[in-house]
Structure 1
């Protein structure tokens, strides 16, 4: 196994790109890969210069899901498998709870836990050649943990179509299902994703964090509770410097100066 890092990180104008770096096995989520991703996300959460994160994959595909060869090498040890799935769940929740927007940049395949990564991200841009699947049913292992993330993106019938068939769907179908935001030519994927990330990164980091956290909370509440909670959050948000600065800048027809507070 190569000693190169599991995750490659590059920073540019507030946009942090994290590239899964095991192209020889389609960036399968081994225990080491998951640990590295968890630790890198924790670093980004505390990095004031990081505004937006892009999650990508090196080589011919985005992510082929869990590393089945690693599982077999342990003899499918119960303790290892339990720790592996627990760690994977922690990583997916770290993406959801990261106080910065996360954009998946998908090419090639995104299958099983790879599709789970896409569904856990806030946004996803896909190349026309991208393919998605939850193929666990084909090998006797139903994709239950990916289903958690998919259920927060897809209608139930679309989700069950993927889970029960195990078949690959193309990028346009993923767009129709709601798994990705946009499908673009492969040779433009990197720039299209980066351009959108830079646009988001130009916003107040405080506002982005407030909005992402609130969105997750509001979707879980009944309608009346959601409005009550949102009203309080907006009133609190208005007390922030960046909100006042943004309103003043809009009215004065100038660019705002964000302070992240």
Structure 2
């Protein structure tokens, strides 16, 4: 079993360097025949992943943003889907926006009882575009609209009730619970786990990958709007945005 920990203090913001390290570690674990399950957690106390490193996008053009968003929405999903072994996210503390996008590429999600979830993109001039494809299929159209458009924070208990996570565990045991779950999977036939995961991914895709490509284009377009620039500037200076587009 392999353990991969996100480590970009203070909040595990998603940068090119973090994505490089994460994808390299996943590829290495996927290619190692001695490893039969992967646990993805955080080395930063109180944070799983707070989402995109927003300040770097403040002056980005849609074309520049496209490559980074495609990597998060499409390439990470493709890599996770192609791994011949299961991956388990051990979520502790805060997970927001792009952090949710990282988590949902895993096969199972174990959440600490103090974890908090949310889709705050609209508050900073963005859209939670990938989750328009992902979330309604799990929680239903109306609850998904609530979460995605209000941006409200919700806890691990609600995430479990909604079907967004596989299991919950005490905060100090979430990695241990993910490891115990991994050990159960490690005890299965490696060949059948590989075949089963590939079949499960095909059966449950339901157009997710096609939706992800559309979400990349949508979010890249958003980066070219005045309200996106205003939202990111407001976030950087810790003030309320003044929306400009009608």
Q: Please give the range of the TM-score, normalised by the shorter of the 2 chains.
A: 0.7 to 0.9
Superposed displacement of residue 220, structure 1: 4.9
CA distance in 2, matches of 1:152, 1:120: 15
1:16 equivalent in structure 2: 2
Q: TM-score normalised to the size of structure 2?
A: 0.78
CA contact (8 A) 2:72 2:102 kept: no
- Higher RCO structure (Cα 8 Å, ≥6 apart): 2
Among 80, 88, 92, the residue aligned to 2:64 = 80
Residues 108-147 of structure 1 correspond to what in structure 2 (within 5 A)? 108-147=93-132
Among 174, 198, 222, the residue aligned to 1:213 = 198
SS of match in other structure, 2:104: helix
Rate the CA distance shift 1:53–1:117 in 2: closer, same or farther, 3 A: same
Superposed displacement of residue 155, structure 1: 2.5
Aligned length: 204
CA distance in 2, matches of 1:156, 1:43: 38
2:224 equivalent in structure 1: none
SS of match in other structure, 1:28: coil
CA distance in 1, matches of 2:49, 2:185: 25
List per-residue Cα deviations over 1:37-62 (Å, max 9, x = no partner): 22222222211111111111122210
Among 128, 133, 139, the residue aligned to 1:154 = 139
SS of match in other structure, 2:85: coil
Structure with greater Cα Rg: 1
Q: TM-score normalised to the size of structure 1?
A: 0.73
Rate the CA distance shift 1:194–1:27 in 2: closer, same or farther, 3 A: same
CA contact (8 A) 1:102 1:123 kept: yes
Root mean square deviation of aligned Cα: 1.7
